[in-house]
Amino acid sequence: MAILDVKNLEKHFGSTRVLNDISFSLEKGNALAIIGASGSGKTTLLRCLNFLEIPNQGVISVKDEVIFDAAARGRVSEREIRRRRLHFGLVFQSFNLFPQYTALGNVCLAGKLLAQERPDFQANKKEIFAEIEEKGRSLLAQMGLSDRAEHFPHQLSGGQQQRVAIARALALEPDILCFDEPTSALDPELTGEVLRVIRSLAEKETTMIIVTHEMAFARDVADQVIFMEGGYILEQGPAKEVIGNPKEERTKQFLARYREDA
Amino acid sequence: MSTFSQQLPIVLHSLNAGFLQTLRLFGITLAGAIPLGLVICLGCMTRFKPLTAVLRAVIWIVRGTPLMIQLLIIYYFPGIVLGNAFWGSGERGRFIAASVAFIVNYACYFAEIYRGGIQSIPVGQDEAGMVLGMTKSQIFFKVKLLQMVKRIVPPMSNEIITLVKDTSLSRIIALQEIIWAGQSFMKGHQGISGVIWPLFFTAIYYLVFTGILTIVLGAIEKKLNFFR
């Protein structure tokens, strides 16, 4: 059973079509890499999944529940959008950590705010917060950041900040974790530590969608690959095939450029 | 003619009373303009066009005319043009009129500073909050507010220091603040007349007070330096 099913997604900004007829599905525990040139619509696709953009056409289903349908005109309450959004986690290219919170504070903030909606919150506030913090610490430990829990973002390197951001996204236990070019804002020597963390998540069968320019990484870590161009999916399939032995001419050209660089 | 040492205690007593009135006007202006500025700022940022148009016009007029003219109009217009001096004629009336003029004037400047502070926060902060399932108000209060405060402290400090000295403009409607108190000894007050040094002394009051404020505001700025 597919955990995520996207059908005929379309998005335009004014008269510019950014996404056209995007359809794909993703199995639970699989990692999907989205590759393609800048401006091909990869990031917009991720933003549509996370409700940061509203698609003009199409249907998005998670675990057989339709969470977005452009044809259904009924207004969805903000509360309901927030609930649906939590199926997804998003790690940004520029981290977007909250600067006035420590690493642990960043990881725990959203969980603590959501806990306020629990009926037993007033009665068990202390226990609930302690539980959230304990979980936050263990996530930071998983990211190799146990000794950085009380540091503020500006005291951390870019790679460390991005790993905090990954822990923050994982804290809410999303069904699908999305990465928007997670290493593009990092110095080359810092990308390794972030890629290692994502690789370890893949090994633990975390369902992930990764927009990336790291072709070797996509080939090794992803199960599926989508190649996008001009807002269309030009080719999709198993990672080793699409990257190792592409069928479309455009995919070959795109990948050849990367080989020259490497 | 009394000697300087005989005049000094009388002058200082009078200047102290004037400075107390200066401080009252300073305090009430901050207490009123800081929240009113936020209301104007948020009003300016709504999508309801008529409201933003009216507020933009108010800001333009208030920032585009001298505070001294605003004081004169607010104090004298009701009595002279409308025939209803509802501020009253005493010191209390002058103080209320001056407070209204100062609060409205400073709120407009503060609103623009707040707007700059809000708009300077990267949209990524909103988006990070949204994908983490936060509500709009949680994003504002838990994520953006402190970052905004940090950014507006330096320009607000500037305005607050300016306000200390601007209070002297209320002399134009004869509010009995420290400049008024200093000047009174030129015309004649409590048996002292024709002396100008009490007026020079008022500068020391301003200087000491702005010095204290500079230290306090600097400490607030430093306190917010724990993040970037």
Whether B194 shows a pLDDT value over 60: the answer reads yes
The residue-averaged pLDDT of A164-192 equals 95
Distance CA A49, CA A38 (A): 19
Tell me the whole-structure pTM to 2 decimals. Answer: 0.87
Decide: A106 and A137 in contact? Cβ < 8 Å. Answer: no
Give me the pLDDT at residue B19, please: 97
Q: Tell whether the model's pLDDT for residue A261 goes beyond 70.
A: no
Top residue of A100, A112, A154, A173 to mutate, by most chain B CBs within 10 Å, is A100
pLDDT at B27 over 70: yes
CA distance A98 to A152: 9
Q: What is the pLDDT of residue B217?
A: 97
Q: Which of B132, B146, B148 to mutate to test the interface with A (most CBs of A within 10 A)?
A: B132
Return the HEC string of B49-92: HHHHHHHHHHHHHHHHCCHHHHHHHHHHHHHHCCCCCCCCCCHH
**Chain segment A183-194, per-residue pLDDT in tens:** 999 998 899 999
Distance (Å) from the alpha carbon of B228 to chain A's nearest alpha carbon: 6
The least confident of A58-72, A93-107, B7-21, B74-88 is: B74-88
pLDDT exceeds cutoff 90 at B60? yes
Distance CA B182, CA B21 (A): 13
Cβ–Cβ contact B123 with A under 8 A = no
Confidence of residue A79 (pLDDT cuts 50, 70, 90): confident
- Which residues span the domain enclosing B145? 4-227
Q: Give the distance from CA B217 to its chain's centroid.
A: 15
Q: Min CA distance, A169 vs chain B (Å)?
A: 7
The radius of gyration of chain A from alpha carbons, rounded to an integer in Å, stands at 19
pLDDT in tens, A84-134: 999 999 999 999 999 999 999 999 999 999 999 989 999 999 999 999 999
Nearest residue on chain B to A84, alpha-carbon basis = B133
Cβ distance of A100 and B130 shorter than 8 Å: no
Q: How confident is the model at residue B135 (pLDDT cuts 50, 70, 90)?
A: very high
Q: Check CB contact under 8 Å for B134 and A113.
A: yes
Residues of A whose CB is below 8 A from B138? 113
| Distance separating alpha carbons of residues B31 and B66, to the nearest angstrom | 22
Mean pLDDT of A189-203: 94
Query: In this predicted model, what pLDDT tens digit does every residue of A36-57 receive, in sequence order?
Result: 998 899 999 999 999 999 999 9
Confidence class for position A7, pLDDT limits 50, 70, 90 = very high
Spell out the alpha helix ranges (H) of chain B.
4-44, 49-64, 67-80, 91-119, 123-131, 136-138, 145-166, 178-187, 197-223
Contacts B150 to A, Cβ<8 Å:
100
Is 70 exceeded by the pLDDT of residue B95?
Answer: yes
Cα angle, residue B114 at apex, residues B39 and B28 outer, rounded to 5°: 60
Is B61 part of the contact surface with chain A (CB cutoff 8 Å)? no
Q: Which long-range contacts (CB under 8 A, 24 or more apart) does B175-178 make?
A: B175/B21, B175/B25, B175/B91, B175/B94, B175/B95, B175/B98, B176/B17, B176/B18, B176/B21, B176/B91, B176/B94, B177/B18, B177/B19, B177/B21, B177/B22, B177/B25, B178/B15, B178/B18, B178/B19, B178/B21, B178/B22, B178/B202, B178/B205, B178/B206
When pLDDT is cut at 50, 70 and 90, the band that residue B88 belongs to is confident
- The shortest CB-CB distance from B142 to any of A94, A113, A169 is to A113
Give me the residues of B, 183-212, that contact A with CB < 8 A: none
Mean pLDDT within B172-201: 92
Interface probe with A: pick from B121, B125, B131, most Cβ of A within 10 Å: B131
Q: What CATH code is carried by the domain that includes residue B78?
A: 1.10.3720.10
The pLDDT > 70 percentage for chain A reads: 98
- B120 in reach of chain A (CB within 8 A): no
**A51 phi-psi bin (left φ>0, alpha ψ -120 to 50, beta other):** left
Q: Which pLDDT value is given to residue A259? A: 75
Query: At B4, is the pLDDT very low, low, confident or very high (cuts 50, 70, 90)?
Result: confident
Cβ <8 Å between B131 and A85: yes
Q: How many domains is chain B partitioned into structurally?
A: 1
Look at residue A262 in the predicted model and tell me its pLDDT: 53
